[in-house]
Amino acid sequence: MINSKEIESLHVESDELYQVLSIEGDSLINLPQNMDSHLMLEMYKKMVSCREFDEKAMKLQRQGRLGTYASFKGQEASQVGSSIALEFSDWMFPTYRDHAATHTHGQKWSTIFLYWMGHIDGSICPEGKKILPPSVPIATQLLHAVGTAWADKLKGEENVSIVYFGDGATSEGDFHEALNFSGVFQTPTVFFCQNNQFAISVPFEKQSASKTIKQRAHAYDMKGVRIDGNDIFAVYLTVKEAVDRARNGGGPTLIEAVTTRYGSHTTADDSKKYRNQEKIEKDWPTTQDPIPRLEKYLRKNHLLDKETEDEMKREIKKEIDEALSIAENYPKATTKQMFEHVYAVNTATIKKQEEEFLHLLGEER
Amino acid sequence: MTQEKLTMLQAINQTLDQVLETKEEVMLLGEDIGKNGGVFRATEGLFEKYGGDRVVDTPLAESGIIGSSIGLALNGKIPIVEIQFLAFIYPGFEQLVSHAARMRYRTRGQFSVPFVIRTPYGAGIRGPELHSESVESFFVQTPGLKVVAPSTPHDAKGLLISAIEDPDPVIFLEDTKLYRAFKEEVPQEMYRIPIGKANVVKEGEDLSIIAWGGMVREAMKAADKLEKSKGWKCEVIDLRSISPLDEETIIHSVKKTGRAMVVHEAHKTGGLGGEITAIINENALIYLKAPVKRVAGFDIPVPSFTLEDQYLPNALRIEQGINETITF
């Protein structure tokens, strides 16, 4: 069993990446018992499913069936590996690039499609879940995850709050305020940074003079770990340890998962303008793509055969096609809905504006 | 009903004490609100009574305070935040407008942020720079927020209780010059004054004067004076809530008097006076015997305190406004 001391000695004192699964698909440590074949296959299935969704979404965007879309391709191990370590009722605060995480934690693909289709219902999470809408402003959501965790601590509830953000977010004041508050009030929060090395066009070396993001944890007297974000075993083990620690009253952790944003910032961006995209596309499949890495491990250990994989892929394709169909056949948002939920009880002014506009629209609404 | 003469500060302190006592979800958060009892002493004695988990001295970071309070509110707490001065709220502005105000809307009612941001505002107490602003329009223009500004100790208690019980985020503006200005009878019991409903503090037939916070007193002084000297009967409306606005009371009054004047200490341009004028024009134009008058703070930064009396709408300008409108 990997213990916290081992991680600490490797990664709090150094800039090295904590890695468990080599690029060749070999485990570098004796895996703990909770990492059984069932969990590994689930990790694999989720990552393949997320990749399928992402590639589908890119195509749909090109066809004009989705609005601007932010691809998470390349970050599947970080997102699936972290969210699979959570319990059902843990809080999740994602950004707009974290749909692999939200889906793994229980968000429906159909809802995620709706979000990118610009539907007003695209941020509703399944009953009983605590998955908040993607934060569009950068780093603001970190503080929300401090607050929910703080409330759980005060109420004696055992939930953990996990928050996702990128390397760019670590330049924002809210990043520092959140780490500081979390440290002061010892909230059960896991700060999960996906350092995908670019904030739209600006590389991390221009973002900060800090060598790593992890080292910022030191300033707030908090555990900080730097891991290979393309290694789903390293991600899972690190996050599992952090959520367990948080749940047991051990306070927050800052995790820096170093990964790669394979594509452009969004479909409205062209990364060729600011980085060597050709090189990334050439090198990434063999050195950084997290999916073949796990696949190699599973095959070497006879946990995945072609039949199982084909069946899995068929299932995934069906699931995503169904989700798309649900989203595309979802009732169109009405003008009336546009006016709903501004307040618990809308003001007289809003009611009047709604009434007048609906009257003007007449039958056309 | 047991009554006691209290200042506005004492009324607020009593209210906070009572809600901490009766609602276990309530938490107070802010800078220096614990042992120090707040820079104005609004939370005096509460830390000692309820402890540091419920009356929280936070790190000095307004976005941190408001942002973490959003999380607390999402998870069942009722945070009552004190921002030390309104002009210090800007680091937390994004949290308010991009998250607190939109959470209900974005999640179709699934999640909401029921909290109260109390903050002293306004000029007139010889405060240092950036301790005297009236920038309520920033918040009034944000759908999803409510904005309340009491003008008396009695109203402060009733409105604060309503704000705390409100299911949506409320900005509660406390005019610093009213804090210790006067005492009035405040019932010991918990009572509510509805948010969104104005109060006609003086009835009249000749001119409707619309104000809130500390400007209500100034408007009243001018109205009383001109009633004695000229016999003009002004109707004075205390909005109490500036978002949502009680349009009905304003329109009803202007239809009766045929004249209107707005007094606010916020800067004139983009101030709420323009909005109220437009509401009157849209709904009661044909009743008007004179243009709607605005007496407001000038379009300059609130100056250092030796000049703040000149910045504030004063008796001279309010009386002149009444005079011009009635004799138009």
Question: pLDDT tens across B239-258, in order?
Answer: 999 999 999 999 999 999 99
What is the residue-level pLDDT of chain A in tens, covering all 365 positions? 344 445 444 444 567 899 999 999 999 999 999 899 999 999 999 999 999 999 999 999 999 999 999 999 999 999 999 999 999 999 999 999 999 999 999 999 999 999 999 999 999 999 999 999 999 999 999 999 999 999 999 999 999 999 999 999 999 999 999 999 999 999 999 999 999 999 999 999 999 999 999 999 999 999 999 999 999 999 999 999 999 999 999 999 999 999 999 999 999 999 999 999 999 999 999 999 999 999 999 999 999 999 999 999 999 999 999 999 999 999 999 999 999 999 999 999 999 999 999 999 986 55
Find tokens 């970050």 and name the residue.
Answer: A75
Quick check: B196 and A149 CB within 8 A? Answer: no
Buried-state track B116-146, b at ≥16 Cβ within 10 A, e below 16 = bbbbbbbbbbebeeebbbbbbbbbbebbbbb
pLDDT of residue B2: 84
Quick check: B104 and A178 CB within 8 A? Answer: no
Domain boundaries, chain A: 4-332, 334-364
Q: Give whole-number Cα distances, A145 to A5, A191, A235, A299, in Å.
A: 26, 9, 20, 38
Residue A25 carries which side chain, given as an amino acid letter? G
Quick check: B70 and A147 CB within 8 A? Answer: yes
Q: Which two tokens stand for residue B318?
A: 């309010």
The rounded distance, in Å, linking the Cα atoms of A229 and A259 is 5
Chain B residues within 8 A of A350 when measuring between CB atoms:
143
Given A121, A180, A341, which is nearest B104 (Cβ)?
A: A341
Q: Average per-residue pLDDT in chain A?
A: 95
pLDDT of residue B297: 97
pLDDT tens sequence across B10-28: 999 999 999 999 999 999 9
CA distance A132 to chain B (A): 8
- CA A110 to chain centroid: 17
Planar angle of CA B167, B33, B54, nearest 5 degrees: 55
CB pairs under 8 A between A and B: 132
Element (H, E) at B325: helix B315-326
pLDDT of residue B3: 86
pLDDT of residue A364: 55
Give the number of other Cβ atoms within 10 Å of residue B159's Cβ.
25
SS3 B15: helix
pLDDT tens sequence across B98-129: 999 999 999 999 999 999 999 999 999 999 99
pLDDT of residue B277: 98
The rounded distance, in Å, linking the Cα atoms of B191 and B52 is 27
Planar angle of CA A263, A95, A99, nearest 5 degrees: 65
pLDDT of residue A12: 44
The rounded distance, in Å, linking the Cα atoms of A184 and A190 is 15
Q: Is B267 a catalytic residue?
A: no
pLDDT of residue A363: 62
CATH of B199-326, one of 3.40.50.620, 3.90.550.10, 3.40.50.300, 3.40.50.920: 3.40.50.920
| Residues B37/B9, Cβ–Cβ less than 8 Å | no
Asked if B3-187 and B199-326 have one fold, the answer is yes
Mutation choice for A interface testing from B110, B195, B197, B239 by most A CBs within 10 A = B110
Smallest CA-to-CA distance from B86 within B23, B19, B21, B40 is with: B40
CA distance B20 to chain A (A): 15
**Terminal-to-terminal C-alpha distance of chain B:** 47
Beta pairing class for B146-148 and B241-243: antiparallel
The runs of H, that is alpha helices, within chain A are: 4-11, 37-62, 76-83, 99-104, 109-116, 140-155, 173-185, 204-207, 216-219, 232-247, 277-287, 290-300, 306-328, 335-338, 348-361
pLDDT tens sequence across B36-67: 999 999 999 999 999 999 999 999 999 999 99
B107 interface with A at CB cutoff 8 Å = yes
Smallest CA-to-CA distance from A246 within A180, A160, A164, A156 is with: A160
The rounded distance, in Å, linking the Cα atoms of B213 and A329 is 52
**Omega before B244 cis (within 30°)?**
yes
| Residues B11/B153, Cβ–Cβ less than 8 Å | yes
Smallest CA-to-CA distance from A253 within A223, A219, A212 is with: A223
Residue A139 carries which side chain, given as an amino acid letter? A
Domain boundaries, chain B: 3-187, 199-326
| Residues A345/B244, Cβ–Cβ less than 8 Å | no
φ and ψ at residue A235, rounded to 5 degrees: -65, -50
pLDDT of residue A4: 46
Mutation choice for B interface testing from A119, A157, A343 by most B CBs within 10 A = A343
B95 interface with A at CB cutoff 8 Å = yes
CATH, domain range B3-187: 3.40.50.970
Closest residue of chain B to A339, computed from CA coordinates = B105
φ and ψ at residue B327, rounded to 5 degrees: -95, 10
Which residues of A have a catalytic role annotated? 261, 265, 274
The rounded distance, in Å, linking the Cα atoms of B267 and B220 is 21
pLDDT of residue A10: 43
- The pTM (predicted TM-score) of the whole model is 0.96
How many CA atoms does the CB half-sphere of B207 hold within 13 Å?
Answer: 33
pLDDT of residue A256: 98
What is the mean predicted confidence (pLDDT) over B289-302? 97
Smallest CA-to-CA distance from B136 within B98, B167, B104, B93 is with: B93
Q: With bands split at pLDDT 50, 70 and 90, how would you rate the model's confidence at B236? A: very high
Q: DSSP for B148-203, please give it.
A: E---SHHHHHHHHHHHHH-SS-EEEEEEGGGTTT--EEEESS-----TT--EEEE-
Q: Which fold has domain A4-332?
A: Rossmann fold (3.40.50)
Confidence check on the interface: ipTM exceeds 0.85, yes or no? yes
